[in-house]
């Protein structure tokens, strides 16, 4: 990665785009950042797959939920997800999700946006597509549509998807992140120094950001 400008604060997020707390975490970081007028930050996304064994084509959502949480816990789990998101003013459309995707291609798309300034927007669009519109973000057509809306070069994105030369570097990155001991997401690192694991109150994020500003 390129070196940061001296006045720019890097904020690294490790997460998965089918993780509702990662979605809320990205929203929270953006809210805290925008509360400081004129602050320059570089929000960088690092990949994590909560469920690495989902088939490349994804699987039936209900089957996935039953397998992961147990048939008697699905309704309660979804209700807790929805209630948590409502605290952030987000109404998750969990009943619209029909497929549980393998998120490798979604992370590939985010990775393609390194250095363009579009990473946070691509991640946000992926979260919205999955949690608000019930779209299958493992589907290449959906991913190319997201790339187009973000004004990425869709032809170049499609070529990278088809060529597949980016897959092994991404798999290596995923393995390295797990190998570094990351076993819970979301994970936030402010200016390479202060880590926040999981979704915490806004003032904790604000404190981490202001500490980074002061030390910068």
Sorted by where each begins, the domain ranges of the chain are: 9-215
Global pTM value: 0.93
Q: What is the average pLDDT value for the chain, to the nearest integer?
A: 93
The model's pLDDT over 1-49, given as tens digits with 9 standing for 90+, comes to 444 455 799 999 999 999 999 999 999 999 999 998 889 999 999 999 9
| Encoded tokens for 39 | 């602050």
The model's pLDDT over 81-138, given as tens digits with 9 standing for 90+, comes to 999 999 988 999 999 999 999 999 999 999 999 878 899 999 999 999 999 999 999 9
- 216: pLDDT confidence band, cut at 50, 70 and 90? low
Provide the percentage of residues in the chain whose pLDDT is more than 70: 97
Helix (H, G, I), strand (E, B) or coil at 111: helix
- Amino acid 88: pLDDT: 87
| Encoded tokens for 80 | 């807790």
Compute the radius of gyration of the chain from its Cα atoms. Answer: 17
- Amino acid 4: pLDDT: 46
Whether 9 and 212 have beta carbons less than 8 Å apart is answered as: yes
Q: Which residue has the tokens 């390129």?
A: 2
- For domain 9-215, which architecture applies? 3-Layer(aba) Sandwich (3.40)
Strand partners, 9: 41
- Amino acid 2: pLDDT: 42
């Amino acid at each position: 990665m390129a070196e940061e400008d001296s006045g720019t604060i890097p904020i690294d997020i490790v997460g998965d785009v089918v993780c509702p707390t990662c979605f809320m975490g990205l929203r929270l970081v953006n809210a805290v950042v925008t509360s400081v007028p004129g602050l320059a930050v570089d929000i960088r996304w690092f990949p994590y797959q909560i469920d690495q064994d989902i088939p490349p084509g994804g699987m039936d959502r209900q089957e996935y939920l039953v397998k992961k949480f147990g048939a008697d816990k699905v309704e309660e789990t979804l209700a807790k997800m929805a209630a948590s998101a409502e605290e952030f003013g987000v109404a998750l459309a969990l009943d619209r999700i029909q497929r549980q995707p393998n998120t490798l291609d979604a992370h590939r798309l985010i990775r393609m946006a390194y250095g363009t300034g579009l990473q946070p927007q691509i991640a946000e669009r992926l979260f919205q597509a999955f949690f608000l519109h019930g779209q299958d973000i493992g589907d290449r057509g959906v991913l190319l549509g997201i790339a187009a809306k973000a004004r990425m070069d869709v032809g170049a994105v499609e070529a990278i998807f088809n060529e597949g030369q980016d897959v092994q570097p991404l798999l290596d990155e995923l393995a390295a992140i797990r190998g570094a001991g990351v076993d819970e997401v979301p994970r936030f690192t402010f200016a390479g120094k202060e880590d926040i694991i999981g979704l915490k109150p806004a003032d904790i994020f604000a404190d981490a950001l202001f500490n980074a500003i002061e030390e910068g």
